């Protein structure tokens, strides 16, 4: 491996470390390293370096989050979540599944992982206390739900995965691969949660939920729900119809012209016209930090591709690791990286580009490797050093209780979720 490739790998690691240590956006460090290495070591033109900014992913995340922010600002998603919890008040023994499905549904409707976890984590811990349910299991359930919903093909994380897969040259299968990722990260937690429920409910008398009946949706919230479901129908129905009727020219034409970012922008304009939310607040809630992190790391990854680093990494994995272990190794590498960093901003932008070459060298399915990578990365997101765990800890009011939760997340939740991810990877190797 030449010294430039080693420098690029070091730059990625240093960017992650500095981002974690200083609290400064990792993407900003990545942009700096992309410029220094690209311009002065690879002799790239500055315009060429600037053009590595992933404009397509940036635009899609911007437009989709802009549209879904209306439902957050006007309380539509919060009210939907409370209605779901109220409907399940007579089944406290199923609280973990209720939390999971409520978080999945509302995250899938566009609120995204961080928003849902920040909203649901305090409610989850309170409900666990009221129903005599282990709070650690509640934390695992709500984290799984926020992840699964966000992984929906047209929700926040799912869109990012589609964009990253398309950037590897596999645009034609980006939607179907994202569907596999969503399916795996949706089904696996259900099995884990049911197992946790069976073990934790033995001999326990769960208390009934005491939740006041939520107010009905107001006019703006009803319109917002109609718009959300309409957009989901538009962007899903034509890809599905095209797969069913690939020779239908009309469906093929419409499907080729559909872009979720552009569709979401039209729906945002409609939402603004209906005055469903304050413009300044809706725009302010766009995840600018995530956009900078993903785009900045993306620039450094493009410089790594230019330097040949990605090819070298792919070659190392495919030639030094037995073929049958490759999916597990990718899952574990992703889990180790996500333990301290972001799946969306760091792990998948760094690992997805090497997957097509690994797949070609090992004759493994790219779909399998993409899915195993995401399953592995998200298994350690509940680490107290990562986004999920830190949000859960932040939602605990008492310092003593927070201090108790920290080691439980670190030494119980993370190993449990990583083991579940490896078992899921094994199943994926059979299914895909």
DSSP for 215-257? PPP-HHHHHHHHHHHHHHHHHHHHHHHHHH-TT-HHHHHHHHH
CA distances from 325 to 53, 61, 319, 356, 429 (A): 34, 34, 12, 16, 10
Task: For residue range 346-372, list pLDDT tens digits in order.
Answer: 789 889 998 998 999 899 999 999 999
What b/e string do you get for 194-203 counting C-beta neighbours within 10 Å, with b at 16 or more? eebbeebbee
Indicate the pLDDT class of residue 332, thresholds 50, 70 and 90: very high
Give the burial class of 424: count Cβ atoms within 10 A of its Cβ; 0-12 exposed, 13-18 middle, 19 or more buried.
buried
pLDDT value, residue 280: 94
CA separation for the pair 311, 123 (Å, rounded): 46
Residue 284 CB neighbours (<10 A): 11
Q: Using an 8 Å Cβ cutoff, are 108 and 145 in contact?
A: no
Helix, strand or coil, per DSSP, at residue 34: helix
Indicate the pLDDT class of residue 54, thresholds 50, 70 and 90: confident
Indicate the pLDDT class of residue 397, thresholds 50, 70 and 90: low
| Alpha-helical segments (H) within 245-365 | 249-257, 260-273, 279-284, 288-307, 309-320, 326-338, 348-351, 355-362
pLDDT value, residue 209: 63
Q: Using an 8 Å Cβ cutoff, are 152 and 159 in contact?
A: no
CA separation for the pair 375, 181 (Å, rounded): 8
Helix, strand or coil, per DSSP, at residue 316: helix
What phi, psi does 78 have (nearest 5°)? -60, -45
User: How many alpha carbons fall within 13 Å on the CB side of residue 90?
Assistant: 1
* Least trusted range by pLDDT, from 16-30, 33-47, 157-171, 308-322: 308-322
CA separation for the pair 207, 390 (Å, rounded): 28
Enter the pTM of the model: 0.77
pLDDT at 76 over 60: yes
């Amino acid at each position: 491996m030449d010294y430039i490739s080693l420098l690029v790998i070091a730059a990625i690691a240093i960017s992650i470390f500095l981002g974690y240590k200083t609290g400064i956006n990792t993407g900003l460090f990545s942009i700096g390293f992309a410029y220094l290495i690209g311009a002065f070591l690879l002799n790239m033109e500055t315009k060429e370096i600037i053009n590595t900014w992933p404009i397509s992913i940036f635009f899609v995340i911007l437009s989709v989050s802009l549209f879904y922010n209306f439902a957050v600002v006007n309380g539509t998603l919060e009210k939907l979540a409370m209605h779901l919890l109220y409907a399940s008040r007579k089944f406290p023994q199923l609280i973990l599944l209720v939390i999971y499905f409520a978080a999945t549904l509302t995250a899938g409707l566009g609120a995204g992982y961080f928003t849902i976890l920040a909203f649901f984590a305090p409610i989850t811990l309170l409900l666990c206390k009221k129903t005599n349910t282990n709070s650690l299991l509640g934390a695992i359930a709500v984290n799984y739900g926020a992840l699964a919903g966000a992984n929906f093909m047209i929700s926040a994380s799912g869109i990012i995965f589609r964009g990253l897969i398309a950037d590897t040259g596999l645009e034609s299968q980006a939607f179907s691969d994202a569907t596999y990722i969503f399916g795996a990260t949706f089904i696996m937690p259900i099995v884990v949660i049911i197992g946790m429920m069976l073990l934790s409910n033995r001999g326990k008398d769960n208390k009934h939920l005491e939740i006041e009946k939520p107010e009905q949706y107001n006019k703006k919230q009803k319109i917002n729900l109609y718009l959300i479901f309409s957009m989901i129908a538009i962007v899903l129905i034509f890809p599905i119809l095209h797969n069913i009727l690939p020779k239908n020219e009309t469906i093929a034409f419409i499907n080729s012209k559909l872009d979720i970012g552009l569709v979401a922008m039209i729906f945002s304009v409609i939402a603004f016209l209906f005055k469903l939310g304050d413009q300044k607040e809706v725009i302010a809630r766009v995840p600018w930090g995530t956009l900078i992190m993903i785009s900045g790391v993306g620039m450094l990854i493009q410089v790594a591709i230019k330097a040949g680093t990605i090819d070298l990494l792919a070659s190392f994995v495919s030639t030094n690791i037995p073929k049958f272990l490759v999916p597990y190794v990718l899952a574990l590498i992703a889990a180790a990286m996500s333990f301290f960093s972001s799946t969306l901003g760091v792990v998948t932008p760094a690992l997805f580009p090497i997957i097509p070459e690994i797949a070609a060298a090992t004759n493994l399915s790219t779909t399998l490797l993409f899915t195993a990578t995401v399953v592995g990365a998200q298994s350690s997101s509940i680490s107290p050093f990562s986004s999920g765990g830190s949000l859960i800890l932040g939602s605990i009011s008492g310092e003593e209780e927070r201090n108790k939760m920290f080691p439980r997340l670190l030494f119980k939740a993370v190993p449990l979720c990583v083991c579940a991810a490896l078992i899921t990877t094994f199943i994926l190797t059979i299914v895909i």
